[in-house]
Homo-oligomer: A and B are copies of this chain.
Amino acid sequence: MPTSMTIAEAALATGLTAYTLRYYEQIGLIDPVPRRGGQRVYGDTDLRLIGFVVRLRGTGMSMRDIQEYVRLRRLGETPESIRLRGDLLARHAAYLRGQLVDLTETIARLDEKIALYRAIYPDEPLPTPDTTVPPASTADTPSNRRKHA
């Protein structure tokens, strides 16, 4: 059976709030969700698009560009639409590659500075800056992670 969720369930599943889901639909960041008895019913495809949109937002694509992407999707599988979507995503990928470099550099600088500080007052046994991933503790107030970097 195809999943079919209420807005509250979809909110749970996507990590967004019901408010935000309605807002995203209103501004065309996601396609209009089909209604039953006036109420939104979220299906698999809706959920997948939302997930993708959230990921794009999370990596800093502007609402405007995402709106454009979703608009192109609605046009169907025409050569034009497909080419433009590819271009849009390719541009964002290029942007992300740039970020990756900046990020790496910033991490290196921070590690240097931290090492300096620790060298002066090493109360804690320096936690060797390796490549494993501690569960990102900055940012993220309860219930609303947003904006990757």
Contacts and interface: CB of A to CB of B under 8 A. Distances in A.
Contacts of A118: 86
A94 B139 contact: no
Q: How many copies of the polypeptide does the oligomer hold?
A: 2
Contacts of A55: 106, 109
Contact of A104 (B60, B100, B135): B100
Contacts of A135: 94, 98
Given A82-B121, A85-B117, A59 B103 contact: yes
Interface of A is mostly: helix
Size bin of chain A's contact surface: 35 or more
Interface in A4-18: none
Given A83-B123, A139-B62, A114 B94 contact: no
B61 A117 contact: no
Pairs A-B, 3 closest by C-beta atoms: A149-B149, A98-B136, A95-B138
11 contacts: A59-B103, A60-B138, A82-B120, A92-B138, A95-B139, A96-B103, A97-B133, A98-B133, A98-B135, A103-B149, A149-B149
Interface of A: 55-56, 58-62, 65, 77, 79, 82-83, 85-86, 89-104, 106-107, 109-111, 113-114, 117-118, 120-121, 123, 127, 129, 131, 133-139, 147-149
